[in-house]
Chains A and B, each alone.
Chain A
Amino acid sequence: MFRIFKNKCFWLFFAIFIFSLIMINFTSSAREDITIVEKLIRDLYTPLQSGVSEFRDNCAALPVLFSDKKLLSTQIGELKKEIEQLSLENQALREYEAEAKRLKELVEFKDATLESYDLLAASVIARSPNNWNKTLVINRGSKNGVEKDMAVISPDGLVGRVGSVSKNSAHISLISDRELAVGAVLQESRETGGIVEGIGNSGLLRMINIPYYSSIKKGDRVVTSGLSLTYPSGIDIGFVEEILKEPNGLLLSATVKPAVDFNKLEEVLVITGYRPQLENDKAEE
């Protein structure tokens, strides 16, 4: 029975097994930076992935050449109408914006809207190669000023945060990934304390830590609370789809449908110049 312990191969297997377990433990996503070997491998892939992404974009433009002219002119007409409507809406919003700015100045409120951050546009060139992690790869890296933990958004809402960076690319952990948690509030009622986390493969999110007396209802818009060092406040996360009672009866949880369709993401914006309010206050002191 103990003959196996005299086998050199067994000990080699055992040593590799233990070494691997130690390595897994030391290379969780919480570590500060990835190693040079990982950066080299990623930078090797980046030009190839960018090439495929560009090729795909070019191919996507091809069907337009063969489209029906009548259909295209109808679509153009519809889009023109939409632009007119949006322009009118924009005018009204600009008025509100100016008014809000004046009022903020009156009460000396510190500005923390999206306009006050530096945004870096990036293209999605690849996605996670397995079913266990939800990540995206973008064509901007440390040479473009991207750093770990920077928030990533799209015009529709919050996408996730920068997980790791190499010279020419960055891996983005999506909010639907199990590892991410975001402080959230309900946009209308401004109820705080909720945390939105990824469920995994379903692509849905879960909002936890909601007090039982909350007025949360189906269809409520969930936005970032800004009570973290990573995500600015007021970014759309998603919409409440289902409300559930936790077994302890004191808290509720809700299923949230993300505002962003992660499968159709082609371009994202990295927030590069965000300084959390807490840090601003400290700096001023």
Chain B
Amino acid sequence: MRYLVLLFLPFTAIFLQSTLFSFYTINGALPDIVLVTVACYAILNGARKGAAYGFLCGLLEDLYLGRFIGINALAKGLTAYIIGSLQGNVFRENILVGVLGVVIATLINSGFLFVLNLLNMELFHFDTIIFHALLYQNIYNVLIAVPVYVWFYHSSRHGILGLTGER
């Protein structure tokens, strides 16, 4: 059941991003709910499990998009590994940890995507609009991170996800 829920989350996130949220953008920027889910999971479950989950969620997103398969998988996997590494040093009960984790994850993920796009000769016009999009995406992600982290934390402690973090 736990794995079914974990599979259902990115599936629903992609569905919401491509439909509901695509019509309600903040200054043209979409949230990355898949990343929010991955970051919350990584904070609560550690680097290795976070990386594996991030990679699989990114892969699902890549397969849906149908081009450059592996780009989101790699970016989200690596981001989750870095965020998950903080697990032993932070106070997970504090919601601010979740929010800050998502902010850092958004920045790291965008950095990885940028580098991977460049590596793939996807050179584009580097302008400040990218930074604006990143700023607004961060605001959107933070708004979504609050309920998602609370749900993740409670489901991991007492609910369907059951805490299995690395100690």
Contacts and interface: CB of A to CB of B under 8 A. Distances in A.
A202 B129 contact: yes
B68 A24 contact: yes
A81 B98 CA distance: 58
Nearest to B123: A178
A23 interface: yes
Contacts of B18: 45, 49, 126-129, 137
Contacts of B72: 130
B70 A23 contact: yes
A49 B19 contact: yes
Given A38-B63, A45-B64, A130-B30, A200 B124 contact: yes
B129 A24 contact: no
B66 A45 contact: no
Interface in B17-59: 17-20, 22-23, 28-30, 32, 34, 48, 51, 55
Contacts of A19: 70
B19 A34 contact: no
Interface stretch (A25-33, A88-96, A97-105, A228-236): A25-33
Given A23-B70, A178-B124, A200 B130 contact: yes
A250 B72 CA distance: 40
Nearest to B125: A199
B15 interface: yes
B80 interface: no
Given A24-B120, A28-B120, A129 B22 contact: yes
Contact of B137 (A17, A56, A131, A203): A131
Interface residues of B, number: 45
Contacts of B124: 178, 200
Nearest to B131: A201
B19 A126 contact: yes
A65 interface: no
Interface string A137-148: 100000000000
A48 interface: yes
Given A20-B74, A29-B68, 9 more contacts: A17-B74, A27-B68, A126-B22, A127-B18, A137-B18, A164-B66, A200-B125, A200-B129, A201-B133
Interface of B: 14-15, 17-20, 22-23, 28-30, 32, 34, 48, 51, 55, 60-61, 63-74, 77, 113, 116-117, 119-120, 122, 124-125, 127, 129-130, 132-133, 137
